[in-house]
Structure 1
Amino acid sequence: MTDPPAGHCDPVPTPPPWHTLSDVEVARVLRTDPAGGITDTEATRRLAEVGPNRLAPPKRRGPLMRLLLQFHNILLYVILASAVISAILGHWVDAGVLLVAVLVNAGIGFIQEGKAEAAIDAIRAMLSPHATVVRDGARREIDAAALVPGDVVALASGDRVPADLRLLTVKELRVEEAALTGESLPVEKSATPVAADAPLGDRFGMAYSGTLVVYGQATGVVVATGGATELGKIDGMLGDIENLATPLLRQIDRFGRGLAIAILLLSALTFVAGIAWRGHAPAAMFMMVVALAASAIPEGLPAIMTVTLALGVQRMARRNAIVRRLPAVETLGSVTVICSDKTGTLTRNEMTVQRMVCAGRVYDVGGVGYAPDGEFRVDGRAVDPGDAPALAMALRAGVLCNDARMRHEDGLWHVEGDPTEGALLVAGSKAGLSQQSAGESWPRLDSIPFESEHRFMATYHRDAGGAPWILAKGAPERILDMCALQWDGDGEHALDVDYWRRMATDTAAQGLRLLALACKRAAPADARLDFADMESGYTLLALVGIIDPPREEAIRAVDECHRAGIRVKMITGDHAETARAIGAQLAIGVGKPALTGSEVALMDDAALRRVAMEVDVFARASPEHKLRLVAALQQAGQVVSMTGDGVNDAPALKRADVGVAMGLKGTEAAKEAADVVLADDNFAAIARAVREGRAVYDNLKKFILFMLPTNGGEALIVIAAILFDLPLPLTPAQVLWINMVTSSALGLALAFEPAEPGLMARRPRPVGEPLLSGFFVWRVLMVSVLMMAGALGLFLWELADGTSLETARTMAVNAVVAAEMFYLLNSRHIFHTVISREGLFGNPYVLASIAACVPLQLAYTHLPVMQTVFGSTDLSALEWAKAIGAGLLVFCGSELEKTVIRRLPVGRRLATR
């Protein structure tokens, strides 16, 4: 073979739609010989021009830049500000602890970002390392990275396709494309061109890089390598997708910025007022303002948020939801739309016989998946297959005319071979007919394997009595042509063709894939089974309806999501009819049309946003379509969770607010791109995780409602002292003691709060809802004023009564801490009273944290070393009683406010949100 002329063999910049071209046209465009391939010289030249057949490494930030960017976070700024203030005050230990917290948070983020980049590496691992290529007319094995457009590649069962190929010759080729297209069954391939607008899963003349050959042989010409392949396009999409901040982090960021601005303005105004109005020296005012800032900054917020999320991670792990990125815990609780892949997520990716139609009787088959558990029912009544001769014979034919194998391993059932044949084995096992026992009593003597041009498989057996039988299974229309009789309840009778065609139409309308089973009581004309034996004389046994059915627990989970106000949408690469049928069983998109990927491709972004909110079932969706749909929903203001298991789901998983991958059957690319991995591949775990996420957010709100009044009360005390020229009731060191030792230790208990009743009956919280609503601002102000009134009132009372400044300050500090302890009990329920057994004792961690704080305050008050550091003094029993009484003011005021709020219409609405 001579080299093609230079300059005429390069792949064109915009490649033609290869699936529309014939093998002759493809060979002409790529200047290759379908029989002999290209020469080594030409391959070397093309390799230099197009580059190796591998995915380009992504552009990544260097380790130093990645580390520095971890500090660009408002939460860490808050901690750093606290550390600086602590250092200014000379509390180096406090400053050191805060700086360690900053470094730990940054380190965790640094590690997680590194893990996120592994998604792209996982896609690279799908590329085949070797390829069998024809060059210079000879077949050889080469490194797949050396493949170039125009190379002729040979494929065989078990091979991973090394590049995108236009198939030239095909011999019973079936390719597993689920990871790329979502197709639940291996795809039968041919060399025939298809229409230009055919979706990826219907381009039967193409074999795509990274997919797996499960049966047959073929040759194909390479039309795309590396980044130009369909797998490469997904890799490129992953690299281009920016990770979005979660709703919680966006709320915390807005809250932190607003709080920081408020603190700076308040401090500046107080500083100016103290100098201009009260005539304080600037140096003295500076230290007072530092005390004010220390009292107002919520030092415990980042730590408590991390602890609350971490506890949520642990609880989710016990429910088989493994959280890879901490903020995803809460994000699941705020989702408004869950977009789910079908195959392997809502379904088990295990083909199951659901219906067997015999002459005059239709049997429903129970159970899902490969586990041989389930009953045969007629009109809801269980029947014994042994009492139904036609059904029993059909099950036997399905088990014997079969090349698949079942095995039980690690407590799970698996099928080796064609999933459809596996479904027939499982159906037989449900009737007590195992493949081994059936094969021993009816040994196979010969067979005709399935071929697409004939559309049937046949096997020759002898039964236990020595009688010959030929069993056949295949496409219903083909098997019907072979049959003249049907087997019904009282023997064989003439075939009712209209009945079988009507039942085939009815079964197909339910989204079931159809298969027909037939038998013939005869031996082959010759010693071997031949196609001449398949022409006529058969008895039709049954039509079999097979589907990858929805998980039973997924049906309940979808219903729970709907009741929680969450829309569930199915986005699958499978056929529209199958998607609609599964959707109907799951109550997804009932009464609405299904939209195909081809229709999505014709819409602009504005139209897609409208349609995405209305339609719930999307079929034949490519990775680009899934990504566009997720983005459209986000642009419509939705918080989107995407679930999936294939590499085709990875871009959408990464783009979603929270991506959820399947742990058992999911590809590594999907798992690495996701935020959460379901250890049991169970969609129901998502509903449980949503509940946990909502509980986490509730607990964060409770902590913020507990923390802010504490800071607010301290700040009001300091401001009042400055503006009214009073002695400072709390020194900066005492403020830090309250904030870091008691307030944070107490607030931590709220992270362990159990979920509120009726949590999943609420609607999702509005997108963009501020962390502090108008009601929360009122609550913060009210409790802050109560806390200030109790502590400052006690402080001024004691000074007026002749008590020393140190003792009055000690009493004020203990009054604030006592108020925090009582208010911690109030904070367990935002609207409902805590004056009950459950309210006071329902969270043992609250009682434990209060019990832990008591000795801390006793040490603060009475230990000489603490008195030296903080300027505290001993208190008498009466003085302790006064401090505790001042703290009770907050408890009583809060419970009274809850009672009033619950009786108001607006309060009742808030309590149900």
Structure 2
Amino acid sequence: MKYQQQQDIESQRLSLLSVEDLTDLFILNKINDGQSMSKVKSFGDDYGLARKINSDIKQGISTEADVQKNRECFGDNTPVEKEPITLCELIMECLEDTMLRILLLAALVSTVIGIINEGLATGWTEGATIFFAIFLIISITAGNNYLKEKQFRQLRRRLDDGKCQVIRGNKVTEIATKEIVVGDILLFNLGDLFVVDGLMIQGSAVKMDESAMTGESDEIKKLPYQEMLQQKQQLLNQDASRGHTSPFLISGTKCLDGTGQMLVLAVGQNTISGQLKKLLIQDNPPTPLQQKLEGVASDIGKLGVIVSIFTFIALMGHLGYDIYLGEIQFKSLRTLQVLVESFMISVTIIVVAVPEGLPLAVTIALAYSVGKMKDEQNLVKNLSSCEIMGGANNICSDKTGTLTQNIMQVTALYVEKNTIKNDVHTIKSKLNKNTIELMCESICYNSNAFPQKDKVTNKWIQIGNKTECALLECADNFNYNFSEYRPSDKILRQIPFNSKRKKMSTAVYNPKTRFIRVYTKGASEIVLNQCIKMVGPNGVEQILDQKAKDQIYNDIIQAFASESLRTIAIAYRDLDPHSQNSSALGQIPQLTTFTQSIQEDDLDKDLVLVAIAGIKDPIRPDVPNSIKQCHASGVTVRMVTGDNIMTATAIAKECGILQSGKQLGQYEVVEGKTFREFVGGLKTIKDKDGNEIKEVGNKQNFKIIARDMKVMARASPEDKYILVTGLIAEGNVIAVTGDGTNDAPALKKADVGFAMGITGSDVAKDAADIILLDDNFSSIITAMKWGRNIYDCIRKFIQFQLTVNLVALFMSFLGAVVLKESPLNTIEMLWVNLIMDTFASLALATEPPNITVLERQPYKREDKIVSPTMNRTIVGGSIYQIAVLCGILFVLPKYMDLSMPEELVGQKFHKNVVQMSIFFQSFVVMQVFNSISCRQLDYKTINPFTNACNNPLFWGVQTFTLIIQCILIQFGGKFVKVSHLTVQQHLLCIAFGVGSIIFLVLVKIIIPEKFCQSFELFREDVITQDKMDDTLASRLRRKSTTRQRNRKTENSDYITVRSIQQSHQRM
């Protein structure tokens, strides 16, 4: 018989289901009309279904071999990603640049004319050099974009590296979410965001938000499969047209309440959300800084087009005049050649003028900053949040785990009217055995954490809620093992902790007393108010009147709180089921029904107080200094916590949020309820477009309280949301931290939301912009530092690029008018374009932050990108360079022999080739030295070499530029149309470069900053996201048909996704 049972089990295991069998269970209309339930029934209920996928509903997958087998049969849980962009696609995208295409065509015509005019031996050189220069620009740009894309992809993968708890081999194991396989028993809690589809096999009070998948915002109740079977007919009779109660848990949905276990049935791209993600994967939208810079780029582009047109007109005027004088024949190849060269010069001016380096610099700065922030425990989800943090002037921070270490330990106990501190585990022999049992059973039943002892060090590893871990460790010291109290068959009902109730209760049946015992733990003052008795000396229960409650509150709770201890009260009550329904005696189903029929607030009232635990969570050592840095940086730090007002005040003083020894102001520390009532909560109004928005009820009162408030105690998520809404309405830039599910609205509302990477719920992480991998407040300072640095990097780059642009445009036009030609030919200007776009963005957009960024006020929303100090640098640098270059063109020949070298005589070179070579060399060398001056933004910093050694990449790029420039001059010859220079001439060019640094130092000393505040170089209009592709700069820069096709595909896919969701809802 035993052999036959073993054979039956083996045959069940071998008859594995297909992926289609499992995914078919999660079609929404089949869930709603009961077909999925029937199909599970046909598989042998939840037990049989688990066996058919190599698992067990109690023990999970038993061996690693079975885990691997399920991974091979049903797929892995690798997140669905957008198909990576190849290097070839990026090169093709670069070739869709309108101006480069025109330039390529003109270069082709130039090559043909050159060959016809000069013969094949030499006629190809100019056109081929232009082709090579364009090829170089495209290769470097595409290569840089490819590396950036690769880096962002790696960061995206890091975002998906979540952790979860599963049962494998009858043990709770923590694994990465990407390692989940079909057949795993997944443990979930309030706040989790599901990444797999599965069947709920255990759970209590589970409510789900399925709006992401169904579009319906109602909370959906979920029941374990076996409980669902018992209530199936009753639930079907309710005829709920939407969101039927069911045991099926869908990926992409959120757990709003409750805890439970699910049997995983679909992973990765086989889940519902995985199938939809394959249809809908979009690129990141432009950041606010990119939108603001697009306005600057458009203005520069317009100036470039104007200069280009006038340059072409001037050159054509000279050509016409030469034709009129008879120096050039109208119908000749020379005329066509001059026309093509003039056209190429004009197009190249536009190529140089349109600052492609601006968006590239932002991208590089973001990529560089995001990578560095990850190294400093900031995982960025939303790129724009990096730059927004540069303007943050308010931080609303949680306490637990952010300001504190989140390593909790019970250091004080109030039990049997005795207060025990420091070593609470020495009192075993002093306490009544029944008291210990009541206290420890309440702790074990009312918890979901899984602390474990390290086998080597024998120290506790806290897994799960740290407060629960501390209590469970305390219970373990009294020889109570929490795992013995977790089986669901012992629990009649469990009401999980949430931010509104601030307590957790569990009802169990006690066969000895034949009573239902309700164990409760939670916030001390709330639980205390629900108590009518307490356990006194020797375990004897005593009446607890209001006077005794007040004494406990003042002498125990407040005393513990003043020592920065979090206080948790432990209580119980016994319910007599016989008084209500004598048939319920000993029958678990009837007892469950009985406890389920009692209202939540009635279940855990009239309690007996057993103990009050004081839990210590030390302040992080670096937090006080970080708070001090915030104050010096013009940033207000506010602590918003669920702790009572005494604990919150003590910790705020320890952190430096409040000043120790100073009398508190009227509103410096308030409770959430007081704050909410004083400001009138939130009210709904309609904006000018008719959309409903939330605003603070009493704005005047909000201004009064927000001006001084530093600490909000006993705060609910609603209070935090009101605070954030009001502060944003006052024009502040707000950063908010949160870890719970109910923190999601405030995290979304804030300008930058920080979720806790260790203790944060999946819902909080989903709503946040940045995840703090170490849950540390100091990591927020890191984000603020890098956010300010991004602005600084872009400003440094703009200082450099605007100077180059103004000088290049002015000299090109001046040369066309006076010299009949541009001093810089097409090849030289393309090289300059490469220097000032790609090379400069690499050098200046990767500047690391220095400590001074945290010594100044944050950027304001309305601040201009180009500051008065920058105006002074740009104008001063441009004036110097223009003066030097004009001197080279019109004065230098009088003082230096610039005759053509003998070896070039008779070849096709400009008659003033040496002069033009010095011009080209001086122009590039001055840009290299000017980039050194542009590294400084602070008007107080006179020395251009301050922090000179903190960016090796900058010096590497400048050295590389100078080496390539010298190679072009010395060996470029007929390809670049230059002559090699003597050592004396090279030194002269270097002297001009050094002079630019000296000149700008004198400008900073002589000209005050206020002098430059009276004018603006550019209007800096902010371009909205929908207008980004319509600006002149965007049209000239790149109108990618590939991206247009992608957008059309994305829009089509979005329509497809919505159609799928709507069809599911109708069904």
User: One fold, TM greater than 0.5?
Assistant: yes
Picking from 423, 434, 440, the partner of 2:477 is 434
Contact 2:752 2:768 in 1 (8 A): yes
* 1:860 positional shift: 0.7
5 Å-filtered alignment, 1:696-845, equals 696-725=790-819, 727-741=821-835, 744-745=838-839, 748-800=842-894, 803-804=899-900, 805-830=912-937, 831=939, 835=943, 838-845=946-953
Take 1:391 and 1:278, find their aligned partners in 2: how far apart are those partners?
Answer: 108
Q: Which residue of 1 aligns with 2:533?
A: 481
Distance 1:251 1:817 in 2: 29
Question: Does residue 503 of the first structure (1) align with residue 552 of the second (2)?
Answer: yes
Structure 1 896/657 Cα, relative in aligned 2: closer, same or farther at 3 Å? same
What residue number does 1:246 align with?
A: 287
Give the superposition deviation at 1:458.
Answer: 12
Change (3 A) 1:630 1:540: closer
Alpha-carbon deviation of 1:621? 3.7
Q: Trace 1:590-669 onto structure 2 (pairs within 5 A).
A: 590-592=668-670, 594=672, 595-596=675-676, 600-604=681-685, 605=693, 607-608=695-696, 611=699, 615=706, 619-621=715-717, 637-645=731-739, 657-668=751-762
Give the Cα–Cα distance (whole angstroms) in 2 for the partners of residues 332 and 94 of structure 1.
39
For residues 167-208 of structure 1, the C-alpha deviation after alignment (integer angstroms, 9 at most, x for no partner) is xxxxx996578999xxxxxxxxxxxxxxxxxxx9xx9xx974
Aligned to 2:958: 850
In structure 2, the CA distance between the partners of 1:501 and 1:633, relative to structure 1 (3 Å rule), is: closer
Amino acid at match of 2:989: A
Mean Cα displacement is larger for which, 591-600 or 756-765? 591-600
**Secondary structure, aligned partner of 2:379:** strand
RMSD of aligned C-alpha atoms? 6.5
1:897-912 alignment runs, 5 A limit = 897-900=1003-1006
Percent identity of paired positions between Structure 1 and Structure 2: 21
Deviation digits for residues 792-823 of structure 1 (CA, Å, limit 9, x no counterpart): 31233344455351111111111112212222
Q: How far did 1:691 drift? A: 0.9
Relative to 1, partners in 2 of residues 1:683 and 1:505: Cα closer, same or farther, differing over 3 Å? Answer: same
How far the C-alpha of 1:318 sits from its partner, in A, is 1.3
| Whole-Å separation in 2 of the counterparts to 1:878 and 1:389 | 95
Q: Is the 8 A contact 1:694 1:759 kept in 2?
A: yes
2: CA distance, partners of 1:98 / 1:486: 85
Partner Cα separation in structure 2 for residue 504 and residue 401 of structure 1: 21
Task: Report matched runs for 1:419-430 at 5 Å.
Answer: 422-426=469-473
Q: 1:342 to 1:265 in 2, by over 3 A?
A: farther
In structure 2, relative to structure 1, the CA distance for the partners of 1:543 and 1:869 (3 Å cut) is same
RCO (CA 8 Å, sep 6+): is it higher in 1 or 2? 2
- Secondary structure of 1:481's aligned partner: strand
The alpha-carbon deviation at position 897 of structure 1 amounts to 1.8
Q: How far apart are 1:740 and its partner, in Å?
A: 0.9
Q: In the alignment, what sits opposite 1:311?
A: 368
How far apart, in 2, do the equivalents of 1:247 and 1:338 lie?
A: 20
C-alpha deviation, 1:719, in angstroms: 2.1
User: In 1, distance between residues paired with 2:544 and 2:97?
Assistant: 82
Instruction: Tell me the distance in 2 between the aligned counterparts of 1:497 and 1:656.
Output: 42
Provide the rounded CA distance (Å) in 2 between the counterparts of 1:210 and 1:686: 40
When residues 872 and 276 of structure 1 are mapped into structure 2, their CA distance, relative to the original with a 3 A threshold, is closer
Task: Please tell me the residue identity of whatever aligns with 2:880.
Answer: L
**Counterpart residue number, 1:678:** 772
Distance 1:870 1:786, change over 3 A: same
1:406 matches 2:451: yes
The answer to whether the 8 Å contact 2:312/2:346 transfers is yes
Query: What residue in structure 2 maps to residue 92 of structure 1?
Result: 131
Question: Which of 515, 518, 522 matches 2:569?
Answer: 515
Check conservation: 2:365, 2:793, Cα contact below 8 A: yes
The CA distance in 1 between the partners of 2:208 and 2:638, in whole Å, is 19
Instruction: Indicate the residue corresponding to 1:258 in structure 2.
Output: 299
- Tell me which residue corresponds to 2:377: 320
Structure 2 CA distance for aligned equivalents of residues 439 and 459 of structure 1: 19
- 682-691 or 542-551, larger mean C-alpha shift: 542-551
User: What is the aligned counterpart of 2:634 among 544, 565, 579?
Assistant: 565
Who is 1:330 aligned against?
387
Say whether the 8 Å CA contact 2:744–2:768 is kept in structure 1: yes
Q: How many Å separate the matches in 2 of 1:254 and 1:96?
A: 29
Q: Which amino acid aligns with 1:502?
A: Q
**CA distance in structure 1 between the partners assigned to 2:947 and 2:103 by the alignment:** 37
- Verify: 1:877 aligned to 2:999, yes or no: no
Q: Given the superposition, is the C-alpha separation of residues 333 and 354 from structure 1 closer, same or farther in structure 2, using an over 3 Å criterion?
A: farther
Q: Paired residue for 1:131? A: none
Partner of 2:262: none
Residue 261 to residue 799, structure 1, CA distance change in 2 (3 Å): same
Alpha-carbon separation, structure 1, partners of 2:827 and 2:652: 64
Which residue matches 1:16?
Answer: none
> Match of 1:888?
994
Deviation at 1:619, TM superposition (A): 4.4
SS in 2 for 1:767: coil
Which letter maps to 2:452?
R
CA distance in 2, matches of 1:317, 1:243: 18
Structure 2: how far apart are the matches of 1:741 and 1:157?
56
Aligned to 1:256, the other structure's residue is in SS state helix
Distance 1:455 1:891, change over 3 A: closer
Match of 1:301 among 358, 366, 373: 358
1:683 and 1:774 map into 2 onto residues whose CA distance is 34
Q: Hey, what's the Cα distance between the residues in 1 that align with 2:628 and 2:207?
A: 30
- Tell me by how many angstroms 1:837 deviates: 7.2
Residue by residue over 1:379-415, the C-alpha shift from the partner in whole angstroms, topping out at 9 and shown as x without a partner, is xxxx898599979999998558753663146999556
Deviations 1:270-297 (A, max 9, x none): 4456667996797665444334334433
Scaled by the length of structure 1, the TM-score of the pair is: 0.62
**Which 5+ residue runs of structure 2 have no aligned equivalent?**
1-28, 39-80, 108-126, 166-185, 194-201, 211-216, 246-251, 257-271, 322-337, 483-489, 496-503, 511-518, 522-526, 573-607, 659-666, 686-692, 901-911, 1014-1067
Q: Measured at CA, do residues 682 and 81 of structure 1 come closer, stay the same or move farther in structure 2, by a change above 3 Å?
A: farther
Change (3 A) 1:221 1:352: farther
* TM-score, reference length from structure 2: 0.54
Question: What per-residue deviation string (whole Å, max 9, x for no partner) do you get for residues 603-645 of structure 1?
Answer: 43474398577657594446xx988986776665444445444
The answer for the alignment partner of 2:309 in structure 1 is 268
Unmatched 5+ stretches in structure 1: 1-42, 53-61, 127-155, 164-171, 181-199, 366-375, 377-382, 441-447, 461-471, 519-538, 908-913
Matches within 5 A, 1:28-177: 47=33, 81=99, 85=103, 88-89=106-107, 91-96=130-135, 98-99=137-138, 175=205
Does the 8 Å CA contact 2:801/2:836 hold for their aligned counterparts? no
Relative to 1, partners in 2 of residues 1:320 and 1:715: Cα closer, same or farther, differing over 3 Å? same
Question: In the TM superposition, what is the alpha-carbon distance from 1:419 to its structure 2 partner?
Answer: 7.1
Counterpart contact for 2:721–2:749, Cα < 8 Å: yes
Matched to 1:320, the amino acid is Q
Secondary structure (helix, strand or coil) at the match of 1:322 reads strand
